[in-house]
Amino acid sequence: MSSWFDRLAERILALAGVPSAEIPDRIAPPPEYSPPTPRPTDFAYKIFTTGFDETVSSGELAARLGPLSPADIDVMRTRLVEFRGDPEAWWAAAQSQVSSIAAKLDAANEQSDTVVTVLVDHSGSMRHDGILSAVSILELTELLLGKLGIHLEVLGFTTTSWKGGRSRELWLERGRPPSPGRLCDLLHIVYRPASSVEPGPASDRYLAMLRQRLLRENVDGEALLWAAARLRTVPARRRILLVLSDGAPGDDSTISQNGVQFLDLQEVVEALQHAGDIHLCAIGIGHDVAPYYPNAVLAATRADIGRAVSATFEQALRPA
């Protein structure tokens, strides 16, 4: 593991809060947008400030975004039911498929000394069917892991606001120094810490993911470092980190001042693979994420979700 990886993993844990902003009608460059500063050949990943980053539990989201009323929750449940209401009964088939894979894996090898972290992309592009797919994948994952006695942690990542938030405001106050590095306020969410999976439907536990004001921009590399750091604190023989995403990292404020390649995932993914203590895999929701994650499965449509979950864990949990 390289020294920059260690330093970044330590810095990501220094988190603080910032008020949220309203979602604009569309993602647009900041009003003060200017062409990016040329990136020096020796430029390394850096962070302008971590002072406005925040990590919250799912319960604390209400303090940031406002409480959910019973009517709000009913609307979210209805969205999920309608998403799964395909006349081909794909959802029932997906549950059956995942249960079959769980029985196969249980018969093949003892799996209980394993922990899985699922890291969910909360980018704006996930706002419609993407986040509904993610919630469905999580419910199927709980079904599978509950049968195998495997502990599960669920995390999400986004930003506190559009257009860089208070980090960008501070950069402007300081005279716009060139190549500032990551220039936004991160929001990391712990939906459930690593624990055993209780029987019963999981979807209500993740309804908060359907909040429209939650899904903004995505700094995937730092989220991976954060998830991996948490995962390494859990005693287990086998650790698995599954990413649910619909594409590349994206933060307009950061990219506008550092270039489109700045948020490239390759270095972080390679560092995790080189460390060798975590099995990293991904499910691409609507888009192929194999260019970013070597162990990736595509769920191109909702009908692919059961197969994607089954294939992912059949590979990740196969006997050594």
Q: What is the mean pLDDT of residues 125-143?
A: 94
Q: What is the mean pLDDT of residues 290-306?
A: 94
pLDDT of residue 42: 52
Percentage of the chain lying above the pLDDT 90 cut: 65
pLDDT tier at 108 (50, 70, 90 boundaries)? confident
Tell me the pTM.
0.86
Q: Give me the amino acid identity at 184.
A: C
Q: Which of 19-28, 101-110, 260-269 has the lowest mean pLDDT?
A: 19-28
| The pLDDT of residue 62 is above 60 | yes
| Number of structural domains in the chain | 1
| The pLDDT of residue 86 is above 90 | no
**Cross-strand bridge partners of residue 195:** 152
For residue 34, being part of any structural domain is answered with: no
For residue 37, being part of any structural domain is answered with: no
Assign residue 137 the CATH number of its domain: 3.40.50.410
DSSP string covering 224-277 = HHHHHHHHTTS--SEEEEEEEESSS-B-HHHHHHH-TTTT-SHHHHHHHHHH-S
pLDDT of residue 48: 96
Task: Report how far apart, in Å, the C-alpha atoms of 93 and of each of 86, 147, 269, 311 are.
Answer: 11, 17, 33, 15
| The pLDDT of residue 31 is above 70 | no
Strands 186-195 and 151-159: antiparallel
pLDDT of residue 200: 66
For residue 32, being part of any structural domain is answered with: no
Q: Which of 46-50, 61-65, 192-196, 226-230 has the lowest mean pLDDT?
A: 61-65
Cα(first)–Cα(last) distance of the chain, in Å?
24
Q: What is the mean pLDDT of residues 81-110?
A: 87
Do residues 217 and 123 lie in contact, with contact meaning Cβ atoms separated by under 8 Å?
Answer: yes
Do residues 186 and 157 lie in contact, with contact meaning Cβ atoms separated by under 8 Å?
Answer: yes
For residue 71, being part of any structural domain is answered with: yes
247: left (phi over 0), alpha (psi -120 to 50) or beta: left
Strands 114-121 and 238-245: parallel
For residue 55, being part of any structural domain is answered with: yes
Percentage of the chain lying above the pLDDT 70 cut: 84
pLDDT of residue 41: 52
For residue 21, being part of any structural domain is answered with: no
DSSP string covering 127-187 = TTHHHHHHHHHHHHHHHHHHHHT-EEEEEEEEESSSTTHHHHHHHHHTT--SS--B-S-EE
Between 25 and 226, the higher pLDDT residue: 226
- Find the domain containing 62 and state its range: 3-16+43-316
Burial of 63 (0-12, 13-18, 19+ CB in 10 A): exposed
pLDDT of residue 43: 59
Supply angle C-alpha 218, 12, 7, rounded to 5: 125
Model confidence pLDDT, tens digit, residues 178-197: 999 999 999 999 999 999 98
Q: Give me the amino acid identity at 88.
A: E
Q: Tokens for 75?
A: 């609307």
pLDDT of residue 107: 80
| The pLDDT of residue 148 is above 60 | yes
